[in-house]
Every structure is written in C-alpha cells, then in structure tokens.
Amino acid sequence: MIPAINVMNLNFRYEDGTEALREISFHVQENETVGIIGPNGAGKSTLLLHLNGLLPEVKTEPSSVSIFSEGITDISESSIRRSVGLLFQNPDDQLFCPTVYEDVAFGPQQFGFDEKSVREIVRGALKEVGLEGYENRLPHHLSGGEKQRVCLAGVLACQPKILALDEPTKELDPRGRRTLIEFLKKKPITIIIATHDLEMVVELCHRTIILDSGKLVADGSTHELLANERLMMEHGLEKPHSLQHRHPHR
Amino acid sequence: MRHDFIDRYSRIASSIHNLPSVLKLFSTLSIIIITVAFPGNCYFFFPTVILFLIAIIFISTIPVGFIIRRLLLMEPFVIGIAILSIFQEGGWEVFLKIMLKSTVCLLAIIIFSNTTTFTDFIRLLRKLHMPVVLVNVIALMYRYIFVLIDEAERMQRARASRTFIRQKRLFWKLQGSLIGQLFVRSYERGERIYRAMRARGFS
Amino acid sequence: MHIPDGFLDTKTAIATTLLSGTAVAVALRRLQKNLKPSHVPLLGLSASFIFVSQMLNFPVIGGTSGHLIGAVLASVLLGPDAAILCMTAVLLIQTFIFADGGVAALGANILNMGVVAVLGGYPVYRILYRILPTPRGKIVASVFSAWLSIVLASVFCAGELAWSGTSGWAVVFPTMTNIHMLIGIGEGLITGIIIAAIYKTKPELLETSLISSSPNFRQSTILYTVIFSVALLLLVTPFVSDWPDGLETVAATLGFDARGIASNSAGALLPDYTIPGVKNASIATIVAGLVGAVIAFGSAVIIGRILIPKSKKQTVQ
C-alpha cells in the first residue's frame, strides 16, 4: 500500500547553520493518526513544515518527503499544498482576512474555484467545525477556540487528504480541546499531530514518534512508548496520567 | 470589549445602515465637498445641513450621546488650528465659518463610519478600483491593529509590573524600546502569516 | 498635524489631492516592480505597526503627551516607497473610520505626513548615513531626518492654510514652524530610541531597507522630485519672498495672485508694513529654522552617543 506520507532520510539545517533535523525516516499509512512528541526545540514544527513543502525553501531532487508517492518539487508543490492541510500553532498567524468567510474562502479561491463553489465549500467547512452562520463575523471578536476552529475550517476548505496539526490544543480551553479531539476522532483522514498534549496523543493516536534534538528516537505504538517511563523522562517528557498504572507490555 | 470602539454601532440594522455602501459614501462625500466649497454667504446652508444630518442620526438609531462625544473629542484640535485664523482682517468671520464647516463635515464622517462596516468599506474600495496592493495592505492592517494593540498592552503591563521609578526619561526609553520590539514581533508575525498564506495556495 | 475639514478651500484641496495621489501612484509603481509575495503581509503588518505606534503616549509636560508620526521610521525600515504606502493606508483609515483628519483634507494630510515627510526626510537620512556608516551613525541620521520631516511637513501645512486664506502666512508660518521644531525633537528622539531598540533586538532588520525599490528608479526619482518641487512652488515659495515676474506669470496662469494673497494677510496683520514685512517675518523664521537644524543635528549626535555607547560601537565589524 502506498503510504500517505513517506519521509526518507530527511536532513535540515537552518540558515545560521543549526541543525534542526537529522536523518529522519518514517512513513504514515492512509487514515492513520500519528502523534509526534518531544521536548521543546526537538524539531516537531520544523518537521511538519516539510510535509507540505514550506521547507526547505530551495527544493532539491530527489525529495526526502513524498506524499502519496509524489515527491515534493517546485512543480508538485502547489498540488501537495492542497493534499496536506497544515494547521499552525497560533490562530492569529493563520486567520488573516477581515471576515471569517473571506478567510475560509482564501484556500479555495487560491486553488481556482468559482465563487458559487467557494460559497458552498465555505458553508460546508464551517458546518463541519460547528461554526454555522459565522460567515460575517470578525476575527478579533472571536474567542481563541472559535479562531482555532475558523482556521481548521480554512484548512478543511482546501479539501486535504492529510491533516497536519501543530500544537492544536495549545490555545484551547478544556471545552474547545474536547470538541477538537472528538472532531479528529470522527474524521476519516490521515492525521499527524505535533504536540505536548500527551493525553490527547493517548486518546487519538495509535502510533507515536518521539523526536529529540532533531533525531527520531522512537517510533511505535503509543501505549508502548508513552507508558515507558524511562524513555519518556530521557526525552524531556513524562508518562501521561492515563497510563500511570499501565504496564508497558500489557 | 475594548475592540468595539471602532465598529460599535456599524452593525445595527437601521434603514440607514442598510443603504448600499456606494450611496452612503457618495452622499457623505457630497455633503463634505459641498460644505467645503461653499462660499459661506448664505447662512441658511448650515442649519439645513445640520438638521438633515441630525435626522439621519435619529433614523439610524445610533445613540446621540455617542456621536456628540466623538464630535467633542475632535473639537479641541479643530479649535487649536482655527484660532490662527482670527489674526487677520475679518478673522472672526473666517473662524466661525471654519468651525461650522468642520463640525458639519465631522458629523457627516462620524455618521458614515458608524453606519458602514469595515468589510463593506473594503469592498467599496475594491469596487472603486483602488489599487489592489493598497486595499490588501489596508485589509491586513485593519485585521492586525487589534492584535498589535493587545501585544503592546501586554508588554506595557509586563513592564509596569517591574518598574518602580516614575521617571519621564526612563519612560520614554522604555516606551521607545517597546515600540522597537513591537516592530520586530510584527515583522516575525508577517513571516508566519506569509507561511500560512503559502500553506493555502498563495504564491 | 491632521488637518480637519473646513480649513482648506477647494483649490487647495484639489491641488494637494492631485499631488499626493500622483506621489502614491509613483510609490505603488515602484513597489510593484519589485514586490515579492512575502512583502504583502510585511506591508500590512508595518502599516498596522505605524498605526498602533501613533497611538502610544509619550508624556511631555503636565497632562500633554507627544506622539510619533513615523514617516522617517517607516522609510528607514522599509524604504521610501513602502513608507509612503503605509502612511497613506494609515491616514485613510484614520480619516474614514476614526474621523481623525478631514476627508477633503486627506490629500493635504497625505501630502504632508506621507509624501513630504518621507521625500524630505529619507534623502537626508541616506546622505547622513553615508557619511557616518556605523550603527551610531544610523541613529544620528534617523534622529535628525525625523526632526526635519516634521518641520517640513509643518511648513507645507502652513502653506496650505495660507493658500486657502484660512490664516495669513505671516501668522501661520512662524507659528506652525516654531511649534513643530519643538515637536520634531520628540519625533527625532522617539525614532532614535526605536531604531536603537531594534538594533539591540534584531539588527539584521536594519541592514538594508526591508523592501527595496525597483532597480531603474532614476525615472521615478525624477518624478518624486518633480512632485515635491511643484508642491513647494505652489504652497511655499509664493509666500516666502516677492519672487520676481517669473513666478508671478506662473501664478497668474494658474489663476491666482500669489502676491495678492500674501499682501492681504500681511497687510491686515501689520497694517503699516508692506511686503518687506512679510519677508522679514518669514526670513526670521527661516533663520530660526537653520539654527534649529544645527541644534537638532547636535542633539542627534548626542542621542546617538547615549543610545549606542562606545563599547558597542567597537564591537561592530
């Protein structure tokens, strides 16, 4: 089966020379939900930015990242953008249009849909995130959770095949977080989440990847990895509460 | 909420608010242009226009007190510059005319800004074929004014909780430094926004 | 310095709108030739930044406070074209949404605070920075040009008020210019502090203007110079001296009598003096201006020294 995401020996260095990612290799099957965890500065966000071609700025061949077996090149970049919907950490960075409608419509408009289709897509996306009727609302009048949902709608409006989320629960209150988790549970799509929210990882992801200092240090079943207290502590994490009394090999 | 101070009454559904934006802009501009161009010999003009504007205010159901407060906010500046006009032949007449004209125009624009939502205003600018770059800059600017105000407030509060000396010199240095940091943050935010734009197909 | 409605007459409003409109069009043209997609959010955020910065208080005496205009700050950071664009965006919103500044006077306000402040301040900044190409030199250059930009803007503002017959040149020119020579100190100081802060936080942002002008900018630089000169001719020079027949002919062709306006205002204020009286008061202010400029420059150097102490200077490559 063609993996949805295939990362082969990915290396990345920032302009100032700092190494961010070192020889990362993993793959994600279609409809899998994978969590990426690790201490701050591990490279989680940087990794996500490689999945839709935002990084590296200058593409090399062959590409280290393939989406549904298509390598990310200058040419394939724009279609990959549609396939991989990336949700950024801070909603204010992503919600840049004057109204909710215009922001959710941004993606479909960029991809060339006509106005009528755009309107339908926007309505559908807003309905999917539970924000029906929000079309004319202004971003600065929305709560953090609502903003996040608008951003999610904006990503969904691009009709992606893969959802990549960067710290999605960071700005959310408990209710918002619960709504998001339930939404992701029901969505039949490939999902990859970079997060500190280990409880969410336990709930949503069958598989987890641990990143530390740019290297992939573990890749396996969530319950096995996260219940392994020593492994977690070694990489700046801790065993989540829900697994406190769980034996690693149960 | 603080951020309402601009748009507070632009979302009411009165018959004035519901008029097409082009008409609202056109009438506002006409009133202003006519008032400005008016030679000022006929003193029936001002009462007529003012009564007309007051009627509009009532139909639009915007609280009169709000309008008066916005008007009074601007008056000190108007008077400040207008005073210079007194020092010439017939100065008092010039002064009076200026005060009347500026008050009428102020009223007109206050009514316009409180009966037109910002999004309608942007749409209007696009319809009037204002250069795309300029309109986009304005739209983005408006969107992030509140974000930056919040950021500036947070920085001010953080600074205030660690400042115990009340010195004007220090304040200037800190305030300027705050603005400098605000720019750096704005620049970096601009980069993140660009990334988000690209993630959804912008090129 | 936002002029409200009712202070400018029709011809002044039209002339200033045409002048500033042309300048903005030139700025847009120059920008578009070189505009990268990444510049759009930068421009928007910068305009937002200028807007918010203008709101922040700098207490002066008693309850009064000063505020930044930011034209030179924007030029140093983003280049002159982007600066003109940002200032225009800010003024547009201030006028239509905040009623701060008149609608018919928008052309004049953009001309003063967007075009003249930028086109007058930025070249001076470049020249000074070329003479002192150090971080401290950048501060000195910014401080002085920021001061200058305010003074220049006020001169043109005075010209607009005088040409409209709102106030006599002999009154408005000395008043506005002298007041703004003082206010300009605030602008210069604040601009310097901001640039120094950016230098300490993220100096890469100061290396070159963040949005560069199009390469073949000689043509449009000429356009800018023309616009500035026409504005100067219309709004300032008719009043400053009794120019001989040359200008009078130009003025007569344009349909107004410059000398007439000047003599009326002067005559009313100083009934026993004729045009030489205007000349004297104007020249006195100009002399004061030159003295002020020297003082401002000296202050700029001192400010530069305070903001970037010697130790920092030596560590710069």
Q: What does the pLDDT look like over C64-103, one tens digit per residue? A: 788 899 999 999 999 999 999 999 999 999 999 888 889 9
Last residue of a domain, one of B71, B92, B117: B117
Same domain, B51 and B95: yes
Q: Write down the pLDDT at residue B172.
A: 87
Mean pLDDT over the full length of chain C = 82
Which of C31, C104, C269 lies closest to B36 in CB terms?
Answer: C104
* Amino acid at position B63, single letter: P
Enumerate residue ranges in chain B where pLDDT < 70.
1-8, 40
Within 13 A of A6's CA, how many CA atoms are on the CB side?
Answer: 12
Query: Could you give the percent of chain A with pLDDT greater than 70?
Result: 98
Under a CB-based contact definition with an 8 Å cutoff, are residues B85 and B98 in contact? yes
- Judged by a CB distance cut-off of 8 A, whether residue B19 touches chain C is no
C-beta atoms of B187 and C42 within 8 A: yes
**B86 and B8, same domain (yes or no):** yes
- Residue B94 sits at the chain C interface (C-beta within 8 Å): yes
Chain A CB contacts of B119 below 8 Å: 98-99, 102, 136, 138
The domain ranges of chain C are 10-309
* β-strands A190-194, A33-37 pairing: parallel
Percent of chain C with pLDDT over 90: 45
At residue C241, the pLDDT reads 60
Q: Is B183 on the interface with C (CB under 8 A)?
A: yes
Domain boundary among B70, B88, B117: B117
- With contact defined as beta carbons under 8 Å apart, do B201 and A158 qualify? yes
Alpha helix stretches (DSSP H) within A19-75: 44-51
**Gap between the Cα atoms of A146 and A134, Å rounded:** 10
Q: Which of A99, A123, A116, A118 is nearest to A107 (CA)?
A: A118
Long-range contacts from C238-245, C-beta under 8 angstroms, 24+ separation: C238/C163, C238/C262, C239/C159, C239/C162, C239/C169, C239/C173, C239/C278, C239/C282, C240/C279, C240/C282, C240/C286, C241/C279, C241/C282, C242/C275, C242/C279
* Domain limit, last residue, from B117, B150, B169: B117
Q: Chain B residue with minimal CA distance to C55?
A: B149
Most confident of A230-234, B58-62, C106-110: C106-110
Domain that holds residue B20: 4-117
Query: What b-and-e string marks burial along A91-109, b requiring 16 or more CB atoms within 10 Å of the CB?
Result: bbbbbbbbbbbbbbbbbbb
What is the model's pLDDT at position B98? 86
CB distance B3 to B148 below 8 Å: no
pLDDT of residue C261: 47
- In chain B, the residue whose alpha carbon lies closest to the alpha carbon of A99 is B119
Regarding whether B104 and B13 lie in a shared domain, the answer is: yes
Nearest to B171 among C59, C97, C175 (CB): C59
Query: Does residue C314 have a pLDDT over 70?
Result: no
Residue of higher predicted confidence among B10 and C138: C138
Q: How confident is the model at residue A164 (pLDDT cuts 50, 70, 90)?
A: very high
Distances (CA, A) of B147 to B36, B151, C84, C194: 37, 6, 23, 20
Cα nearest neighbour of B122 on chain A:
A98
Q: Which of A88, A92, A136 sits opposite B147 (nearest CB)?
A: A92
How much is the average pLDDT of C219-240?
A: 82
Tell whether B185 lies on the interface with A, counting CB pairs under 8 A.
no
Q: Does A74 score more than 90 pLDDT?
A: no
Tell me what the pLDDT averaged over chain A comes to: 90
Which chain B residues are Cβ-neighbours of A99 within 8 angstroms?
119
SS in 3 state form for chain C? Answer: CCCCCCCCCHHHHHHHHHHHHHHHHHHHHHHHHHCCCCHHHHHHHHHHHHHHHHHCCEECCCCCEECCCCHHHHHHHHCHHHHHHHHHHHHHHHHHHHCCCCCCCHHHHHHHHHHHHHHHHHHHHHHHHHHCCCHHHHHHHHHHHHHHHHHHHHHHHHHHHHHCCCCCHHHHHHHHHHHHHHHHHHHHHHHHHHHHHHHHHCHHHHCCCCCCCCCCCHHHHHHHHHHHHHHHHHHCHHHHCCCCHHHHHHHHHHCCCHHHHHHHHHHHHCCCCCHHHHHHHHHHHHHHHHHHHHHHHHHHHHHHHHHCCHHHHHHCC
- Express as a percent the part of chain A with pLDDT over 90: 67
Same domain flag for B143 and B186: yes
Per the domain annotation, does B29 fall within a domain?
yes
Separation of alpha carbons C214 and C216, rounded Å: 6
Kindly determine whether residue C7 and residue B98, on different chains, have CB atoms separated by under 8 Å: yes
What is the count of residue pairs from B and C with beta carbons less than 8 Å apart? 248
Q: What local confidence, expressed as pLDDT, does residue A168 receive?
A: 93
Residue of C143, B196, C315, C134 whose CA lies nearest to A155: B196
Average pLDDT for A189-195: 96
B90: left (phi over 0), alpha (psi -120 to 50) or beta: left
Confidence of residue A232 (pLDDT cuts 50, 70, 90): very high
Cβ pair B201:A110 closer than 8 A: yes
Which chains would you list as touching C if contact means 3+ CB atom pairs under 8 Å?
B
Using the Cβ of A154 and the Cβ atoms of chain B, whether some distance falls under 8 Å is answered with yes
The answer, yes or no, to whether residue C6 has pLDDT greater than 60, is yes
Q: What pLDDT does residue C14 have?
A: 94
**What is the per-residue pLDDT across C230-272, written as a single tens digit (0 to 9) for each?**
888 888 877 766 434 444 454 455 554 444 444 444 434 433 3
Taking CA–CA distances from B86, the nearest residue in chain C reads: C167
How many domains, chain B? 2
Question: Is the CB of B1 less than 8 angstroms away from the CB of A138?
Answer: no
Q: pLDDT at position C274, please?
A: 34
Residue B5 is predicted with a pLDDT of 57
Residue C211 has pLDDT above 90, yes or no: no
Contact C6 B98 (CB under 8 A): yes
Does A98 contact B at CB distance below 8 Å? yes
Whether residues A98 and B196 touch (CB distance < 8 A) is answered with no
CB < 8 Å to A106, chain B: 197, 200-202
Q: Which of C28, C97, C189 sits opposite B113 (nearest CB)?
A: C97
Domain presence at residue B124? no
Residue B7, pLDDT score: 61
In this structure, is the dihedral angle defined by the CA atoms of residues A177, A181, A187 and A189, taken in order, positive or negative?
A: positive
Chains that touch B (3 or more CB pairs under 8 A): A, C
Instruction: Tell me whether B49 touches chain C (CB under 8 Å).
Output: no
Q: Which residue has the higher pLDDT, B130 or C304?
A: B130
Among A46-55, A175-184, B94-103, B147-156, the least confident range: B94-103
Residue B123 forms contact with A (CB below 8 Å): no
Look at residue B126 in the predicted model and tell me its pLDDT: 92
Q: Are residues B55 and B26 in the same domain?
A: yes
Sorted by where each starts, the structural domains of chain A and their CATH numbers stand as: 5-96+165-243 (3.40.50.300)
Q: How far is A123 from chain B (nearest CA, A)?
A: 18
Closest-CA residue to C122 (of C42, C27, C53)? C27
The CATH class given to the C10-309 domain equals mainly alpha
**Can you give the pTM of this predicted structure?**
0.87
d(C-alpha B199, C-alpha A95), whole Å: 12
- Is B42 part of any domain? yes
Residue A209, pLDDT score: 95
Q: Are residues B108 and B28 located together in one domain of the fold?
A: yes
